[in-house]
Amino acid sequence: MEKIFEITPFLGFYHEQCKKFVDKNMFEPQFHKYIRLVKVKFWYGTCSGSGENIYGKYILGIQCEYHNPINGEKKQTEIHSGTLSSIDINTKELELVEGDYITKFNICYNDIISYIKLTTKKNKILELGNYDKNCEKTLIFNNDEKPNMIQSFHGFYNEYGLRALGFTHLKRQNYFFLNLIDVFRLRHKLKTDEQEREKWTEEEIKILNYDARAFIRLCLLPDSQFSSVIKFCC
């Protein structure tokens, strides 16, 4: 049976003193499969740590924002970074609009990550750091016929900066399928349970957040309109 999610190894160098992060763990386990990466930001500059003989400019940290479409919740991670005290720090941010997602991942590292490049389906690029072909690693997790999307990041960091990075990815159509399961479940309940259907008056719907209102109203549509919306989503 084909696995829905694929998890990459940690790319980089890390040891037991490094701090580990797994972004999806910000959310309750039942929501892990639904979350979507909407923004990623990197810090780049001179390392300020001491004790490992690491000198120069490297990727210092990462911060991401994720959206849970089930309840409309957006969460931003902590900044997973080394000491951000040098005067030459640069930042770059990639914001993913609806329908866009990261499909290519390039990284350079030896003792610490020195270069990151992310490319999206719509050819938006975030590139930061010093590229060195001798230490480049490219994860091949995609093809044009069935594109995969990066869903969430995980990694290690310490006082020097970002030491290792990996991610969870899945096929785009599988992500849509997972998110539509609850739509079909609720629609079935509304069509077969008159008491449940009558509960959702306009007054009850109005008190929900925007995403939840859209979710309920979609499930209450007549069959022809519901089918048209679902075809568009897929």
The predicted pLDDT at position 1 comes to 35
pTM of the model: 0.76
User: Helix count (H) and strand count (E) of the chain?
Assistant: 5, 14
Q: Of 29-33, 50-54, 92-96, which range is least confident?
A: 50-54
Residue type, 149: M
Say what the pLDDT of residue 34 is: 81
The rounded distance, in Å, linking the Cα atoms of 13 and 161 is 11
Whether residue 49 is predicted with pLDDT greater than 80 in this model: the reply is no
Is residue 133 within 8 A of residue 114, CB to CB? The reply is no
Sketch out the chain's domains with CATH numbers.
Answer: 8-171 (2.100.10.30), 175-233 (no CATH)
Q: Percentage of the chain surpassing pLDDT 90?
A: 40
pLDDT of residue 115: 96
- 66-75 mean pLDDT: 84
- The structure tokens listed for 11 are 């790319």
Instruction: Summarize the chain as % helix, strand, coil (round to 5).
Output: 25, 40, 35
What average pLDDT does the segment 174-184 reach?
Answer: 64
Tell me what pLDDT residue 5 has: 77
Q: 130-161: per-residue pLDDT in tens?
A: 999 998 887 766 665 667 888 999 999 999 99
Span 31-40, average pLDDT? 89
Q: Would you state the pLDDT for residue 68? A: 85
Residue that wins the pLDDT comparison between 183 and 151: 151
Average pLDDT on 199-216 reads 83
Q: Do residues 118 and 141 touch, judged by C-beta distance below 8 A?
A: no
